[in-house]
Structure 1
Amino acid sequence: MSEIDTGRSAFYAAEKLVLNLFDRAGASAATGNVTGASAATGNVTGASAATGNVTGASAATGNVTGASAATGNVTGASAATGNVTGASAATGNLTATLAGTTVTLPPEAKFASVESISRYVDDVLAMRPVREAFARADVPLTVRPRNGFRAAEYRRVADDDAAGGEIAIPHRGAGSWALRELVVLHEVAHHLDDTGGAAHDAGFANTLIALVGLVLGPEAAFVYRVILHDAGAVRR
């Protein structure tokens, strides 16, 4: 998954919209006050750049630090997201309206290190619903730091369906954008995907949506499905 080159494909552009929407939830968790969000500009007011604490993040991880540094500005939000209201200081949850349906977004975990991501990945693959849904959940998956900053990457260690996999995560400076739960789940979905298609075709998109639903809940999966559908990456 790439931070900088998202404009090169409809899939990456759509996924960037999902990340922007969750960034609003991160700003909400930091301050409990999100007002006047605009579907056209994605501006969020009242966000604090000084906070760093997020509570109630994904139950799958035990390491959450440094809440999205909440610049107070999120741009390029999808017009499909519509209204963003009702942030809660207690939970960090945020409601959003997509395709005429209002959903409550869960908080997204942010990671302090590649080591904490590795523990998170192990926890995700050990989840019973994930193991029941994906045969490759039993296949080893390791995480290592990546020196480049443009993209997180997944590769299989051999051309074999039973081969283990490796995720490379940017982790310093300009690469710190990748230290977030949705980026990690994208790479885990590559490991679990056994549909046999291209890297970001409809088969992979459905794998990603299913994994997000199992880990973060049906509301998060709904957001992915609507936005990826609008981009032509998946059928609803």
Structure 2
Amino acid sequence: MRLLFVGDVVGSPGRAALRALLPDLRARHEPDWVVVNGENAAGGLGITPPLAHEMLDDLGVDALTLGNHAYRHREMYELLDTDDRIVRPANYPKGNPGRGYTVVERDGARLAVVNLIGTVFLEAARSPFAEADAILAELRGKADHVLIDFHAEATSEKIAMGWHLDGRATACVGTHTHVPTADARVLPGGTAYVSDVGMTGARGGVIGVKREQALERFRTLMPIRFETSPDDPWLNGVLIEAGDDGLATGIEQILLPAPS
């Protein structure tokens, strides 16, 4: 099994990079599945139904994961409830719109996609560790491979989650910080891990927003409305390979500039 996971798509520059680069990535690597974090697709904050449909239906993405901006746009609430290709953090309050995991199927193969959010430096949520345990128990016998997108701020919490899941999930990939980390590896028990995949957005900004606005905020501490940067967009992702036993055999980082 070969899985392509694409990190946080940030605004129109990120969406354009995904559109431009995904066809070649499919042709070159022939992934069985493509999963994308769409957390920042709408102007850097959240996602809207048209943008979700663009990625899922026009680009053929198999599943979308989200994060702390999952509920930024109220018009998404209904789609979160009705489209099982989209997942939001599973450890958010019960009864919230959407689902925390899904199982996508093709030609008899079943991939579970799970979304969790961290609790360090982010809004309070149920323990992602306990939630992961509960979901894995529910998935027993229902999926051949399990991908977990852990949307979290603290590297320590992400690494701890990787060890917590080792041998029980195909992959645990970190998202949220928009900066790719240099620790992609297969853990001893067979779980592919990376602390942060990075973003699909403008590297010439500050985590995807215009650098002059970010600098003004840091220099003055005054509130400012951030806009996505158009400068130097890249696609950040990982390619994960796994065997029939559901465990990973390899993980490779993908860091590609969008064509100018």
Q: TM-score range by the shorter chain?
A: under 0.3
TM superposition score normalised by structure 1: 0.28
TM superposition score normalised by structure 2: 0.26
- Between Structure 1 and Structure 2, the one with more strand by share is 2
